[in-house]
Amino acid sequence: MKASDWILIIFYVYVTDENIEVMIETILQGEALVPFPLEEELIVKVKEALGHILSWPRHLVIRCSDLGKVVAKSVKKHATPVKKAATPVNEDVTPVKEDATPPKEEIGSNKKEKGTGKMVDGEKQPCDMEEGNDVEEGNDVEEVIGIEKKIKKEKQNVTVQRRWTRAQMKTRIRIENSSILKMTAMMADGQVTKVDSIRVQSENDLFGYDSYTYLTWDDFEAVLTMDELTGAVIVSYMMVLFNKLKYGSPERDHGICFVNPAIISPSTRKGKSKNIDDASRGLADRLSKRKGNDIIFMPYNPGRHWVLGVLDMKSDTCYYLDSLSSGNFNMQLKQIVDSAMVLYTTQSGSNKRVKLNWVNVTCPVQPGSTECGYYMLRFMKEIVEEGIEVLIGDGKAEYRTADIDEIREEWSTFVKGFIYR
């Protein structure tokens, strides 16, 4: 693999059999295609994968810690001893004094310079094929050596070129009348554009373990333009709700715990049946660590659409909320939750046979095609503040723009504290 084909630097890796799962930290060539695209998350090019975990062919990955060894090995392999030029026979040789100035090349001359190309009509041209092989190898080595310098330059460059995405092309919506959103937009343009991503972390075990996520400039733009929400935005707002439960008034603690959407949502890297098995095991493991909480929030994205499952362990009921109001359950989510309950009861040593009662909740319907994430977060917010009883009955017929903007403002207030850390 040539050095010119290296397109990214990874943050850390997870080793699998044939591939390595990598998190993209620094991008060198954003237009390159990723080997295993995540079409459901609109990740096809490297520039769209920043902060995401992707599968990468093992043979195309070099750890940063091994980069120096690779460079040294390449230099040693391609290094050639310098030979003294032989003096041609029967040719005049003009002696040159030590202090003499070497003759200058005439402008526009067609003299051939081995290893550097030839001059044709005053322009430098590539070497002949028979003379270019060694030079091409040397150029590869120079490119390899230059990678580390390029990384440092990318890190120090305060005017990072941002990716022109669909979110960036859209107009920021309803931020002029909100001081919180206006300030967030200024911070995103002034500081977030200078870094690849910012780390947002929950103080405690949001998902039963140390929980954190990475937000990029595109995530901020999605919120400011009311575009489709990413998993990183969903998770960071769940941190907002978690803090409300922990630090809010006692009457708000309704015994709620959260499931990471990445555990149960499908991935294009895995087959459907394998994903269901993995998701069921992951959900069963989360249920075993719920610490007495009986209300389980399960955000789920079957593919560019967010829905919410709310599991009530006391009544063996699972509430299903879909802002598109399709009237049908997502059958893959239903299969995941039903299988997880069977695994959970088996692992807990109970002989109880659980059959969940699924309830399709009547909820407000989104007016457009990109509001599903905001509506799902609003569903969770109302349950946190009012209890699961809010799911029983007719509820609200629709949400006002102020209801959705409240979600955006709460998210902005929370993540702003991590921008300058």
For the stretch 323-381, pLDDT in tens is 997 678 899 999 999 999 999 998 888 777 788 999 999 999 999 999 999 999 999 99
pLDDT band at 150 (very low <50, low <70, confident <90, very high): low
Query: Does the model's pTM come out above 0.75?
Result: no
Query: Residue 58 has what DSSP assignment?
Result: G
Give strand pairing partners of 297: 258, 310
> Beta 317-321 vs 357-360: how paired, if at all?
parallel
Fold for the domain defined by 166-419: Adenoviral Proteinase; Chain (3.40.395)
The residue type found at 420 is Y
| CA 60/CA 7 separation, integer angstroms | 10
Q: Which residue has the tokens 């075993």?
A: 288
pLDDT, tens only, 67-80: 666 656 665 665 55
- In this predicted structure, what is the pLDDT of residue 61? 81
- What share of the chain in percent tops pLDDT 70? 65
* CA–centroid distance for 2 within its chain: 26
Q: Which residues lie closer than 8 Å to 360 by C-beta, 6 or more apart?
A: 320, 322, 327, 328, 329
- For the chain, residues classed under CATH 3.40.395.10 are 166-419
